[in-house]
Amino acid sequence: MNKDFWAGVFPAVTTKFTSEEELDLVACNKGIEAQLEAGVNGIVIGGSLGEASTLTEDEKFALLAETVKTVAGRVPVIFSIAEQATKVALSHAKKAEELGASGLMVLPPLRYYASADETVTYFATIAKSTVLPIMIYNNPVDYKIHVTLDMFGELEQYANIAAVKESTRDISNITRMLNRFGDRFKIFTGVDPLALESIVAGAHGWVAGLVDAFPKETVAIFRLVKAGRIDEAIAINRWFMPLLDLDINAKLVQYIKLAEVATGTGTEHVRAPRLKLTGAEREQILKVINDGVAARPALPADSWGVVETVS
């Protein structure tokens, strides 16, 4: 597979569970097929939205193996690494490579507030251990470590550090990255409510959340912006915004899974300590979702659809 695949819409897919909190691989596959039908360009598994913190090591690899089998080379499959110890991260990178992952999305070390040099060393050590291309997840809002431009400057020497999931919430950071590095690092917006503006600013891709429930609309916005059809993209984005805002809440997993139920792309089951939504909160979120579904816009016929197989 061509490793220069870092562009387009990459869903951060949810991990589906049964009512007994076991992996539901049938439901996972159904959700992935809905993404592929809409024309997404990649699949990201085992991330925060995928409830990675509740998955065992065996479950993560079972999920990866099944996803690789289901996708069958149609788009790249990106495996998330969010670990506390470098040794464990290296082990996961090696196993992901063996199981056929196309690339890795790597978070900075978790729990420990690593310094700049420790963070750079962490990413560099992983990069040197694998042939897989790497996307660095830069999210100082949720994970407290900011991968700065100077740190990217140190990481530039590692050819397989190829992309960044830009979740700093500062859209101007995209312009600063492009000004300093050109296209050396492919930039993916990682914050749904800021996605349209980020793509206009030059982001190459979108690691999306609400795409799990609304894949066609997400793909349409990205493609329309890239085609210069900004007014059409803005119209869809205005309808989408109340739903996109669900992506920036601590309960984004529950919110997005509830949206997946409404659109027939997933299940509501989560794994403890997460709990299903109840009471007034559930009614509030359901109203946002149901209002969105009821007003779902017609999309231009050429703005979504299955992409060609990645070579």
Q: In what order do the strands lie in the sheet with 205-208?
A: 8-11, 205-208, 186-189, 161-166, 134-138, 103-106, 77-81, 43-45
> What are the pLDDT digits (tens) for 261-301?
999 999 999 999 999 999 999 999 999 999 999 999 999 99
Domain harbouring 153, CATH code:
3.20.20.70
- Structural domain including 241 reads 8-294
Closest by alpha carbon to 223, among 187, 195, 247, 262?
A: 195
* More confidently predicted of 290 and 309: 290
pLDDT digits (tens, 9 = 90+) for 171-199: 999 999 999 999 999 999 999 999 999 99
What mean pLDDT is reported for the chain?
Answer: 96
Give the Cα separation of 214 and 204 in Å (integer): 20
Distance CA(60)–CA(67), nearest Å, equals 11
Residue 153 lies inside a defined structural domain of this protein: yes
In a domain, 301, yes or no: no
pLDDT (average), residues 195-219: 98
Quick one: pLDDT band at residue 234, thresholds 50, 70, 90? very high
Number of domains the chain contains: 1
Chain center to CA of 191: 9
Residue 241 lies in a domain: yes
pLDDT of residue 310: 47
What percentage of the chain exceeds 90 in pLDDT? Answer: 96
Banded model confidence at residue 104, pLDDT cuts 50, 70, 90: very high
**Residue 307 within any structural domain of the chain:** no
User: Tokens in use for 160?
Assistant: 């397989």
What are 244-263's pLDDT values in tens digits?
999 999 999 999 999 999 99
Rounded Cα distance, 26 and 30, in Å: 6
Structure confidence by residue, pLDDT tens digits, 36-78: 999 999 999 999 999 999 999 999 999 999 999 999 999 999 9
Per-residue pLDDT, averaged over 75-104, amounts to: 98
| Of the candidates 41, 40, 44, 15, the residue with the CA atom closest to the CA atom of residue 30 | 15
Residue at 302 is within a domain: no
Which residues 6+ apart lie within 8 Å of 46 measured at CB?
Answer: 15, 52, 55, 60, 63, 64, 79, 80
Q: In this structure, is residue 1 part of a structural domain?
A: no
Tell me what pLDDT residue 1 has: 53
CA dihedral 167, 172, 177, 178 (to 10 degrees): 120
Q: Which amino acid is at 41?
A: N
* Residue at 168 is within a domain: yes
Inform me whether the pLDDT recorded for 308 exceeds 90: no
Are the C-beta atoms of residues 130 and 104 closer than 8 Å to each other?
A: yes
SS3 call for 126: helix
Rg (the chain; Cα; Å): 18
Q: What does the DSSP 8-state code read for residue 71?
A: H
Please check whether residue 309 lies inside any domain of the structure: no
